[in-house]
Amino acid sequence: MKKFLLVLVTGLILSSCGEDDKPEGEEQSSCSNFVRIKNTGKTVILGEEHTIKLELKPDCLKKLEIKIDGKSVSQFESDLKSELTYKWLTAQEQLGSHRIEVVAQLENGQTRKMSTSKLLVAAKPPVSKRVQIANSFPHDPSAYTQGLEFDGDRLIESTGQKGSSWVRELNLEDGSVVGEQTVLDSKYFGEGITILGDKIYQVTYQSGEGFVYDKNTLKQIDQFTFTTNTGEGWGLSNDGEQLLLTDGSHRIYFVDPENFIIRRNIEVYTNTRPISYLNELEYIDGKIYANVYQDNHVAVINPDNGIVEAVLDMSPLEMALPGPAPEVLNGLAYNHNSGKLYATGKLWPLLFEIEIVD
């Protein structure tokens, strides 16, 4: 019971420091409540100037620093006043969660930190677009499609599920396999592929392992490990320099193809919400096109900041199947030679050439 009371009392003291700030550290000096981050709202629209407001007791403080995402953006020392503001210019930021931290150095030499978080969302809703079918081709109904990408005019597909995960080249016209396919060991659940340089890169679902193949022979030449927030690998693409990877969340990771270290990630948001379950990807003219798992929509994403700029309604594809869809829409491939876009689904008997209409 004593322990419970202590926790309760401590909680009351901590929460008295402000509406949305979170002081770190347990002690409270005589100068308690020396800084308070004023509640100016959690959600901020990307591009707007957001004012961070602090209320403080200048006599208690020697120095004060404001950090955003760990980076120092402002410092106060001789100019400490009872009210301080910092104008946060958000135009160059990415969407999603940002950590605002206040580091206060007290007159007695101690340091105190408190933080809050802000959520950046897009200024505008995504533009709605629909697709229409230009052509349809046979697709192997036993192919649990996880990756689809062109190498020139060669169409490469990867599939999932343990025991039926393979990487193969497809004849677009009749859906047959060209040459020898590579079959993954049955302990692996294959996921997305992408072709960069002379190599095909592939991730697997939950093993944290990936494979590199010679793009011409489809023979495995290397393997690697990778780490995402969810511990999973889903879709893969590339922007000509970096691998783009999804993990079932609303994040897209930018991965170094040499050492498989994640350089950065973006959080994908509309003007109101994150788009989770991002799956198979395709990089087209500087935008990331992402299948959304268990959804008949494809999100068109700005790779710089995570804004969903457009949403493609893909439902005509499912309706064009000869029967009920055996599984979800997944697999987008753009032929850069012809400018044609193709899509299919897991275990779907058809693969479609599609056109985006406004």
Query: In the complex, what is the shortest distance from the CB of residue 83 to Ca ion, in angstroms, rounded to a whole number?
Result: 52
Query: In the complex, what is the shortest distance from the CB of residue 237 to Ca ion, in angstroms, rounded to a whole number?
Result: 6
Judging by DSSP bridges, how do beta strands 43-45 and 22-24 pair with one another? unpaired
**Nearer to Ca ion (CB atom), residue 101 or residue 282:** 282
Residue with tokens 């500087």: 286
DSSP code of 307? B
Taking contact as CB under 5 A, which single stretch among the options 4-12, 14-22, 277-285, 298-306 is the one that binds Ca ion?
277-285
**Nearest residue to Ca ion, by Cβ distance, number only:** 282
Taking contact as CB under 5 A, which single stretch among the options 17-25, 43-51, 245-253, 329-337 is the one that binds Ca ion?
329-337
Judging by DSSP bridges, how do beta strands 251-255 and 262-267 pair with one another? antiparallel
Site string for Ca ion, 200-239 (x = CB under 5 A): ----------------------------------------
**Nearer to Ca ion (CB atom), residue 244 or residue 275:** 244
DSSP for 208-248, written as a single string:
SEEEEEETTT--EEEEEE---SSS----EEE-SSSEEEE-S
The residue length of the chain stands at 358
Q: State the distance between the two ends of the chain, measured CA to CA, in whole angstroms.
A: 64
Query: In the complex, what is the shortest distance from the CB of residue 185 to Ca ion, in angstroms, rounded to a whole number?
Result: 23
Taking contact as CB under 5 A, which single stretch among the options 70-78, 133-141, 213-221, 274-282 is the one that binds Ca ion?
274-282
191 makes contact with Ca ion (CB under 5 A): no
Query: In the complex, what is the shortest distance from the CB of residue 346 to Ca ion, in angstroms, rounded to a whole number?
Result: 14
Query: In the complex, what is the shortest distance from the CB of residue 284 to Ca ion, in angstroms, rounded to a whole number?
Result: 10
**Nearer to Ca ion (CB atom), residue 60 or residue 332:** 332
Query: In the complex, what is the shortest distance from the CB of residue 296 to Ca ion, in angstroms, rounded to a whole number?
Result: 17
For residue 79, is it left (φ>0), alpha (ψ between -120 and 50) or beta? alpha
With residue 255 as reference, give the H or E element that holds it: strand 251-255
Phi and psi at 112, nearest 5°, equal -125, 145
Taking contact as CB under 5 A, which single stretch among the options 69-77, 78-86, 145-153, 341-349 is the one that binds Ca ion?
145-153
Query: In the complex, what is the shortest distance from the CB of residue 201 to Ca ion, in angstroms, rounded to a whole number?
Result: 12
Count of H-run helices and E-run strands, the chain = 2, 29
Query: In the complex, what is the shortest distance from the CB of residue 196 to Ca ion, in angstroms, rounded to a whole number?
Result: 13
State the number of binding residues for Ca ion (CB under 5 A). 4
Which sign, positive or negative, has the C-alpha torsion 172, 175, 176, 181? Answer: positive
Q: How far is CA 58 from CA 24, 63, 107, 109, in A?
A: 20, 9, 10, 14
**Nearer to Ca ion (CB atom), residue 150 or residue 188:** 150
Taking contact as CB under 5 A, which single stretch among the options 72-80, 150-158, 172-180, 280-288 is the one that binds Ca ion?
280-288
**Nearer to Ca ion (CB atom), residue 38 or residue 340:** 340
Identified binder of Ca ion from the candidate list 191, 282, 296, 298, rule CB under 5 A: 282
Contact 228, 210 (CB under 8 A): no
Which sign, positive or negative, has the C-alpha torsion 347, 349, 351, 352? Answer: negative
DSSP code of 2? H
CA atoms of 352 and 26, how far apart (whole Å): 61
**Nearer to Ca ion (CB atom), residue 93 or residue 282:** 282
Identified binder of Ca ion from the candidate list 149, 169, 232, 247, rule CB under 5 A: 149
Residues forming the site for Ca ion (CB under 5 A): 148-149, 282, 332
